[in-house]
Chains A and B, each alone.
Chain A
Amino acid sequence: MIQGRPSTARAGRRGAESTLLRTLWKSPSARRRDAHRPGTSILEVSGLTVRYDGRLALDDVSFQLKAGELVAVVGPNAGGKSTLFKVIAGVLQPSQGQIHVYGHEPGGHICIAYVPQRSQVDWTFPANVADVVMMGRIGRMGLLGWPQSRDWEMVRGSIEVVGLAELARRPIDQLSGGQQQRMFIARALAQEAELMLMDEPLTGLDVTSQQDILAILGQLRERGVTVMVAMHDLKLAAERFDRVMLLKRRLLAMGSSEQVFTPDRLVEAYGGHLRLVQAGEEMLAVSDTCCEEGAEPGERLA
Chain B
Amino acid sequence: MSAWLDWLAGPLRYPFMVRGLLAAVMAGAVCALVGTYVVLRGMAFLGDALAHAILPGVAVGYLVAGGARGSLFWWGLATAVLTSLGIGAISRVAKVKEDTAIGIIFAGMFALGIALLSTVRDYSVDLAHLLFGDVLGVSTADLRLTALFGGAVVLLIIAFYKEFMVLSFDPVLAATLRIPARLFEYLLLVLIAVAVVVSMQTVGVALMVAMLVTPAATAYLVTRRLPVMMVLAAAMAAFSGLVGLYLSYYAGVASGAAIVLTCTALFGLVWGARSLARRIRPQESSLG
- Complex interface bits, A102-143 against B, C-beta within 8 A gives 1, otherwise 0: 000001001011101000111001111001100110110101
B223 in contact with A126 (CB, 8 Å): yes
* Pick from B163, B175, B223: contact of A91, CB under 8 Å: B175
Min Cβ gap A54→B in Å is 15
Whether B32 sits at the interface, judged by CB under 8 Å, is no
Q: Which of A91, A127, A141 contacts B176 (CB 8 A)?
A: A91
- A90 contacts the other chain (Cβ, under 8 Å)? yes
Which residues of chain A come closer than 8 Å to B165, judged between CB atoms? Answer: 127, 131, 135
Given A110-B178, A139-B178, A127 and B225 contact (CB-CB distance below 8 Å): yes
| Inter-subunit contact A89/B169 (CB<8 Å) | no
CB of A116 within 8 A of CB of B173, answer: yes
Q: How many angstroms between the C-alpha atoms of A171 and B169 in the bound complex?
A: 14
Q: Mark A136-176, 1 if CB is under 8 A from B, else 0.
A: 10110101101000000000000000000000000111000
Q: Check A114–B172 contact: CB distance below 8 A.
A: yes
Provide the residues of chain B in CB contact with A144, threshold 8 Å: 159-160
**Choice from B166, B175, B176, B226 contacting A113 with Cβ under 8 Å:** B176
Query: Contact check: which of A110, A116, A126, A172 meets B229 at CB < 8 Å?
Result: A126
Q: Are B225 and A126 in contact (CB under 8 A)?
A: yes
When the two chains form the complex, which single residue of A90, A110, A132 contacts B175, counting CB atoms closer than 8 Å?
A90
Verify if B154 is at the interface (C-beta below 8 Å from A): no
A223 CB–B CB distance under 8 Å: no
- Which chain B residues numbered 154 to 186 have a C-beta less than 8 Å away from chain A? 159-160, 162-163, 165-166, 168-170, 172-173, 175-179
Residues of A within 8 A of B40 (CB): 122, 125-126
Instruction: Kindly state whether residue B110 has any CB partner on chain A within 8 Å.
Output: no
Q: Considering the chains assembled together, what is the distance between the CA atoms of A56 and B137 in angstroms? A: 61
Q: Choose among A114, A122, A141 the residue that contacts B162 (Cβ–Cβ < 8 A).
A: A141
A110 touches B177 (CB 8 A): yes
Question: Contacting B172 at CB < 8 Å: which of A120, A128, A141, A171?
Answer: A120
**Residues of the A chain whose Cβ atoms lie less than 8 Å from the Cβ of B160:** 144
Of all chain B residues, the one with the shortest Cβ separation from A120 is B172
Residues 258 to 302 of chain A near chain B (Cβ within 8 Å): none
Interfacial chain B residues near A110, Cβ < 8 Å:
177-178
Task: Name which of B176, B179, B220 has the most chain A CB atoms within 10 A of its CB.
Answer: B176
Q: Are A135 and B220 in contact (CB under 8 A)?
A: no
Of all chain B residues, which has the CB nearest A125? B169
Query: Which A residues are CB-close (under 8 A) to B279?
Result: none
Is B121 positioned at the interface, with any CB of A under 8 Å from its CB? no
The complex places the Cα of A127 from the Cα of B160 at a distance, in Å, of: 17
* Any A CB within 8 A of the CB of B278: no
Is the pair A121, B179 in contact by a Cβ cutoff of 8 Å? Answer: no
B13 at the interface (CB under 8 A from A): no
| Distance (whole angstroms) from the CB of B270 to the closest CB of chain A | 15
Which residue of chain A is the closest to B224 with respect to CB atoms? A171
Q: Are A131 and B172 in contact (CB under 8 A)?
A: no
- Interface pair A131/B166, CB less than 8 Å apart: no
Would A126 and B226 be within 8 Å (CB), given that A121-B169, A138-B162, A144-B159 are in contact?
yes
Given A125-B168, A126-B226, A138-B179, residue A114 in contact with residue B173 (CB < 8 A): yes
Take A126-B40, A126-B226 as given contacts and tell me if A114 and B176 are in contact as well, using a CB distance cutoff of 8 Å. Answer: yes
A86 on the interface (CB 8 Å rule)? yes
Residues from chain B with Cβ under 8 Å of A127 in the complex: 165, 169, 224-226
Q: How far is the CA of A122 from the CA of B168 in the complex (A)?
A: 9
User: How long is the Cα–Cα vector from A136 to B170 in the complex, in angstroms?
Assistant: 11
Specify which chain B residues have a CB less than 8 angstroms from the CB of A91 in the assembled complex.
172, 175-176
Complex interface: chain A residues within 8 A of B166 (CB): 135, 138
How distant is the Cα of A249 from the Cα of B241 in the complex, in angstroms? 58
Q: In the complex the two chains form, is B159's CB within 8 Å of A128's CB?
A: no
On whether the beta carbons of A131 and B225 are closer than 8 Å, the reply is yes
| Binary interface encoding of chain B residues 206-235 relative to chain A, with 1 for a CB under 8 A from any of its CBs, else 0 | 000000000000001001111011000000
What is the distance, in angstroms, from B181's C-beta to the closest C-beta of chain A?
Answer: 10
Q: How far is the CB of A226 from chain B (nearest CB, A)?
A: 16
Determine the distance from Cα of A125 to Cα of B223 in the docked complex, in whole angstroms.
11
Which residues of B are found within 8 Å of A112, using beta-carbon distances?
A: 176
Instruction: Give the residues in chain A near B226, CB-CB below 8 Å.
Output: 125-127, 131
Cβ–Cβ < 8 Å partners of A89 in chain B: 172, 175-176
Chain B residues contacting A86 (CB-CB under 8 Å) are: 172
Interfacial chain B residues near A116, Cβ < 8 Å: 170, 172-173
Distance A86 CA – B170 CA, assembled complex (angstroms) = 13
Contacts of B168 in A (CB 8 A): 125
B interface footprint on A58-72 (CB within 8 Å = 1, 0 otherwise):
000000000000000
Contact B169 A132 (CB under 8 A): yes
Which A-B residue pairs are the 8 nearest by beta carbons?
A171-B224, A139-B177, A91-B175, A89-B176, A125-B169, A126-B224, A126-B226, A114-B176
24 A–B contacts, CB within 8 A, in A order: A89-B172, A89-B175, A90-B176, A113-B176, A116-B173, A120-B170, A120-B172, A121-B170, A125-B40, A125-B169, A126-B224, A126-B229, A127-B169, A127-B226, A128-B224, A131-B225, A135-B169, A135-B170, A138-B166, A138-B179, A139-B177, A144-B159, A144-B160, A187-B173
Chain B interface residues (CB < 8 Å from chain A): 40, 159-160, 162-163, 165-166, 168-170, 172-173, 175-179, 220, 223-226, 228-229
With A89-B176, A91-B172 already in contact, 14 other A-B pairs whose C-beta atoms are closer than 8 Å: A112-B176, A116-B172, A125-B169, A126-B40, A126-B223, A126-B225, A127-B224, A127-B225, A128-B224, A131-B165, A135-B170, A141-B162, A171-B224, A171-B225
